[in-house]
Chains A and B, each alone.
Chain A
Amino acid sequence: MKWLDRTHGTQFELARHFFTSVFENELFSREQGRRLAASAAGLTIPAGILLMDPRIVDAPSAKLRLISALDELALLTFLFAVAGILAVLAWNSLFPNRDDYLALASLPIRPRQIVGARFLSVALMAILIALALALWPSAISPHNYGLQQSFSVMVVDIFARVLATSFGCVFVFFAVVSIHGLIVNLAPGRWGVLVTPYVQGSLLIIFMAAGLYSFVIQDWRLDVLKQVVDQGRWAPPVWFSCLHNVIIGHREPAVIHLAVRGLKALGLALFLSAATYLLALLRYQRLLLENRDVIVRIRSWRWNPIDLIIRNPQQRAIMEFLWKVFGRSRIHRLVLLAYFAAGAGVMASIMLVAFATKTWPGWGHMLPIAVSTVPLAISFVMLTGVRYAFLLPIQLKANWVFQLTESQGRQQWLSALEHFITLFVILPLHLLSLLVAVSALGWRVGACIVISQVLISYCFFELLFNGWRQLPFACSYVPAKSQLATVIARWVCALGFLAPMLGKVILATSQMTLGYILSLAILLPLWRWLHSLRQEGWSDTDLIYEDNDDVVPNLGISEASYGMTRYRESDLSQRPKPGQTADVQSALPSNRSDSTIGTKLGPNPF
């Protein structure tokens, strides 16, 4: 029997369990996580090629060193961003939670063992991630071979790079752990639940922006590098780049100072994490087991502005349900914030890229383009985010409510969805955009831009929801169906090409009366056509409650439903007579329709 297969001490077994489930959460199973990790690993090769600098070819040695330093900064920024994103993804596993204590209740395990095992598993994961991120790029760094160093110097250089990079990654990982620890201890209960998704979203924005910006760093002018030690003293990549330099023998006081700062920051992150773990251990009974502060805030007034807009009581109920899911479900709020973070991160990066390029035209020139492009890009991202959040079930076992009432109010459900998107995504976003556009470009141009943006957002919504076949939050969901590369390629096209191109067209046409009228003459019929297409699609298709029978275990709801009973009855009526042969399988509905509920059956007899 292998050593790992044997039973070891409680602490070891607990740490093993926590370690293997660090990235388990509501969205990813272990298998899907592996698939995602494999896709991400596959993408590192093209990403690495993007980081490689063509300027190193035939560059003189002194210049090569500067280029190498710039590339190191870019690489460190990118790897720190990846480490940060991974830490945010592992958020639920960073600290022991209520489920840990309840699932392990009555086992001969002390709370300190649970906390200790969590810390150990997180520390191991951080080290593993840091080494995985640091080893490969540091070892194959082309500059090690281009600088014509002796073999021993090169080995020391590689070692220094690995050490500095992994220290930096561990720092970033534990900085996220510390932030989580502070929330656990300072904002327990309802406040923690409220604050957490916003903190996660903000961290994602920062890491996404940093990761994307890293591709710009290598385009900096070489003389900028001389100012980095002064102007970049607050930036972790600079600290750990200096640490690398100190290890290989640089002794400039400013460099040593920043290297020490990096080590101090690492120490502080580790100390803060350990302290918050200790504090959480001392207070775990009160924080997790005795905290009953889960009372929902009840409104003291009964008037609701939505009531004025939507008269139908069914639609109002549905709107309220959708709103409350987003308000109270941590995972749905997190998904929305993650999408917003990604969108805002990408747009911030585009601005930073523009700022960093040599041909920076100044804010006066950038502002109109930003006003016409950014809201459009964010609306694309938010609409996709809302659609994705609708795909995630809130409580599959509660589905029977929808299945029973759907036939009585299906049209109301789908209309409510449309109203929800208008009221909570398109309208607020473009109202905000109107304020900025009008103050930046004046009433006429600003209003023209926003009207065009609204129409394009609606067109995008119509396209996005054209094949929509389910009620929000009411269908089982199989994650990671698309390959990561495909998803990234789509987003690069949408945010890197489509949004800027449309933004420029909007800006140009809004400044020409004839051009603007022409653009409206195209956009309005286009929206009407897409709208009618979606409406037809919605009225024709059967709704689904299970995404994929093969992957998601069947809950047995569809078999017991009225829709399936009708199917079976029709099957029986078509049963072949004795002596007549028929392929029984072909008479059965297909895999997908097998798990659908008929929606054109009229009122439910129950």
Chain B
Amino acid sequence: MSVLEVHHLTKRFNGIPVVSDVSFAMDKGEILGYIGTNGAGKSTTVKMMIGLLQPSYGQIKWHGRSIADNLTSFQERLGYIPEESHMYSFLSGSEYLRLLGRLRGMKRPVLEFKIERFLKLFGLWDDRECQLSSYSKGMRQKILISGALMHDPEVLIFDEPLGGLDVNMVLGLRQIVQGLSQRGKTIFYCSHVLDDMEKLCSRVLILQKGRLLVDDSIAHLREIREQSSLEGVFASLTKNDDDEQTLARGILEAMQS
């Protein structure tokens, strides 16, 4: 049985469909890539998967049971790194992690140990008492990653996790994601960095205008689309060269007008 199944997921805002009839399933230890153009509906899908938004139609199942029926149990086993760092910026890094840990019911000694370990490993120990509002984007991202992993979740949802991270940290995060997969964690990975996606994911979903365009393995996609990279596959599916050239020409003309 799949760990996570999404059936005919649909979301409408004021009657306008943002995500339409998206279905897929994820197995234990799988890293599933989720890509799409801006406004394709990726973040809305993620918000429904974490239980923040209710689907207009369709359902999400965790171990065969709808998450709507046992949302709290699902969220207890879920780790989420959001695209935008919505945090209480008046808290310090350690206070924020302490809040998350307490809200997840972690016992204080375990929590303090984990906070110290994560902050030291991410190089944030010296800044642990500084307010989050003073953190750089990369530092905030490290805090969000710590918060998502601290309780050893079973399912992980990464929504653009590389924002603001330096090259070393990007490489490190790639290792972390692979390590998590090897430990049987199910990972849903949204990103625009297709190179990274290609190295991490065995299978990708491509979304366009709220509809699922492709659900296939990267190797198979490369083969059938006769492309050498995922970037090429994505470009061949979602745009054509004329659009690109028209856009470039238009911008250059506008700049000099």
What is the interface of chain A, defined by CB distance below 8 A to chain B?
Answer: 1, 5-10, 13-14, 17, 21, 24, 29-30, 99, 101-110, 285, 289-290, 292, 553
8 contacts between A and B (CB under 8 A): A6-B108, A7-B108, A101-B52, A102-B86, A103-B87, A106-B50, A109-B75, A553-B134
Q: Which residues in B have some Cβ–Cβ distance to A below 8 Å?
A: 13-14, 47, 50-54, 71-73, 75-76, 78-80, 82, 84, 86-88, 90, 99-108, 111, 130-131, 133-134, 157
Residues of B within 8 A of A290 (CB): 13-14, 53
How far is B100's CA from A17's CA once the two chains are assembled, in angstroms? 10
Q: A7-B111, A13-B99, A105-B86 are in contact. Are A110 and B52 (CB under 8 A)?
A: no
Are B90's CB and A106's CB within 8 A?
Answer: no
Which of chain B's residues have a CB closer than 8 A to the CB of A1? Answer: 108
A99 touches B86 (CB 8 A): yes
CB-based contact A285/B53 at 8 Å? yes
**Is the Cβ of A106 less than 8 Å from the Cβ of B105?**
no
A7-B102, A10-B103, A99-B86 given. 10 additional CB < 8 A pairs?
Answer: A7-B108, A13-B99, A30-B90, A103-B86, A103-B88, A104-B103, A108-B71, A108-B76, A285-B54, A292-B13
Contact flag A5-B90 (CB < 8 Å), given A13-B102, A292-B13 = no
* A107→B100 contact, CB < 8 A: yes
Q: Cβ of A104: which chain B residues have Cβ within 8 Å of it?
A: 103
In the complex, how many angstroms separate the beta carbon of A550 from the nearest chain B beta carbon?
Answer: 13
* Complex contact B47–A109 (CB within 8 A): no
Q: Cα distance A5–B101 when bound, in Å?
A: 13
Q: Chain B contacts of A103 at CB under 8 A?
A: 86-88
In contact, A289 and B102 (Cβ under 8 angstroms): no
Q: How far is the CB of B99 from chain A (nearest CB, A)?
A: 6
Nearest Cβ on chain B to A547's Cβ, whole angstroms: 14
Please state if B82 and A107 are interface contacts (CB–CB under 8 Å): no
Q: A102 contacts which chain B residues (CB < 8 A)?
A: 52, 82, 84, 86
List, in ascending order, chain B residues with CB within 8 A of A6's CB: 107-108
A residues less than 8 Å from B106 (CB atoms): 7
Given A103-B86, A107-B75, A110-B71, are A289 and B53 neighbors across the interface (CB < 8 Å)?
Answer: yes
CA distance A516 to B75 in the complex (A): 76
Closest Cβ of chain A: how far from B185's Cβ, in Å?
Answer: 15
Q: How far is the CB of A8 from chain B (nearest CB, A)?
A: 8
Contact indicator A106/B130 (Cβ below 8 Å):
no
Residues of chain B contacted by A24 (CB below 8 angstroms): 88, 90
Alpha-carbon separation in the docked complex, A10 to B103 (Å)? 5
In the complex where A17-B99, A29-B131 touch, is A106 in contact with B71 (Cβ < 8 A)?
no
Q: Are A14 and B53 in contact (CB under 8 A)?
A: no
In the bound complex, residues from chain A placing their C-beta under 8 Å from that of B104 are: 107-108
B78 cross-chain contacts in A, Cβ below 8 A:
106
CB distance from A12 to the nearest CB of B (A): 9
User: Lowest 7 A-B CB distances belong to which pairs?
Assistant: A553-B134, A106-B80, A102-B86, A108-B75, A106-B50, A13-B102, A108-B76
Residues of A within 8 A of B82 (CB): 102, 105-106
- Select from chain A the residue with minimum beta-carbon distance to B133: A553
CA distance A564 to B243 in the complex (A): 44
Would A7 and B101 be within 8 Å (CB), given that A29-B131, A289-B53, A292-B13 are in contact? yes
What is the distance, in angstroms, from A551's C-beta to the closest C-beta of chain B? 11
- With both chains docked as a complex, state the minimum distance between the C-beta of B122 and any C-beta of chain A, in angstroms: 18
For the residues of A in contact with B, the DSSP-based class is loop
**Contact A105–B50 (Cβ < 8 Å):** yes
Shortest Cβ distance from residue A51 to the other chain B in the assembled complex, whole angstroms? 35
A14 to B104, CA, bound (A): 10
What A residues does B53 contact at CB under 8 A? 285, 289-290
Residue of B nearest to A106 (CB): B80
Max count, chain A CB within 10 A of own CB: residue among B73, B75, B87? B75
Interchain CA distance A104-B76 in the complex, whole Å:
12
- How far apart sit A29 and B107, CA to CA, in the bound complex (Å)? 28
Measured between beta carbons, the chain B residues less than 8 angstroms from A9 are 105
Contact indicator B13/A105 (Cβ below 8 Å) = no
CB distance from A474 to the nearest CB of B (A): 17
Q: Are B72 and A110 in contact (CB under 8 A)?
A: yes
How far is it, in angstroms, between the C-alpha of A6 and the C-alpha of B131 when the chains are bound? 23
Cβ distance B161 to chain A, nearest Cβ, rounded Å: 14
Query: In whole angstroms, how far apart are the Cα atoms of A290 and B51 in the complex?
Result: 14
Is the CB–CB distance between A109 and B103 below 8 Å?
yes
The CA of A14 and the CA of B51, in the complex, are separated in Å by 18
The complex places the Cα of A283 from the Cα of B80 at a distance, in Å, of: 25
Alpha-carbon distance between A583 and B86 when the two chains are bound, in angstroms:
45
- Report the minimal beta-carbon distance from B69 to chain A, rounded to whole angstroms: 13
B88 and A21 contacting across the interface, CB-CB below 8 Å: yes
How distant is the Cα of A102 from the Cα of B102 in the complex, in angstroms?
17
With the chains together, A221 CA to B220 CA distance in Å?
Answer: 93
Cα–Cα, bound, A297→B75 (Å): 39
Which of B50, B71, B103, B134 makes the CB contact (< 8 A) with A13? B103
Residues in A neighbouring B134, C-beta threshold 8 A: 553
A29 touches B90 (CB 8 A): yes
Residues on A with beta carbons closer than 8 Å to the beta carbon of B75: 106-109
**A30→B71 CA distance, assembly (Å):** 34
Question: How distant is the Cα of A260 from the Cα of B108 in the complex, in angstroms?
Answer: 48
Q: How far is the CB of A7 from chain B (nearest CB, A)?
A: 5
Task: List the B side residues contacting A21 at CB < 8 Å.
Answer: 88, 90
Instruction: State whether B103 touches A14 (Cβ < 8 A).
Output: yes
Which residues of chain A have C-beta atoms less than 8 A from B87's C-beta? 103
Given contacts A7-B101, A7-B108, A17-B99, contact A106 B52 (CB under 8 A): yes
| Whole-angstrom distance between the Cβ of A392 and the nearest chain B Cβ | 14
Q: With A and B bound together, what is the CA distance between A5 and B112 in angstroms?
A: 11
- Contacts known (A13-B102, A29-B90); A108 close to B52, Cβ less than 8 A: no
Q: With a CB–CB cut-off of 8 A, which chain B residues contact A7?
A: 101-102, 105-108, 111
A102 CB to nearest B CB, Å: 4
Identify the closest chain A residue to B11 (Cβ): A290
Instruction: Quote the shortest CB–CB distance from B84 to chain A (angstroms).
Output: 8
A105 touching B80 in the complex, CB below 8 Å, given contacts A13-B102, A110-B71: yes
Closest to A554 in B: B134
Minimum CB–CB distance for A111 against chain B, Å: 10
Given A13-B103, A107-B75, A292-B13, A5:B52 Cβ within 8 A: no
For A99, list chain B residues within 8 Å (CB).
86, 88
Inter-chain contact A289/B52, CB cutoff 8 Å = yes
CB within 8 A of B157: which of A106, A110, A285, A553? A106
Q: How far is the CA of A24 from the CA of B71 in the complex (A)?
A: 30
* Chain B contacts for A8, CB-based, 8 A: 102
**Quick one: which of A17, A29, A110 has the most chain B CB within 10 A?**
A17
User: Chain A residues near B72 (CB, 8 Å)?
Assistant: 108-110
Chain A residue at smallest Cβ distance from B71: A110
Shortest C-beta distance, B65 to chain A (Å), equals: 16
CB distance from B105 to the nearest CB of A (A): 6
* Most B C-beta atoms less than 10 A away, residue of A8, A14, A109: A109
Give the shortest distance, in Å, between A27 (CB) and chain B (any CB).
Answer: 11
Which residue, B47, B82, B90, B103, has most C-beta atoms of chain A within 10 A? B103
Q: How far is the CB of B49 from chain A (nearest CB, A)?
A: 9
Residues of B within 8 A of A108 (CB): 71-73, 75-76, 103-105
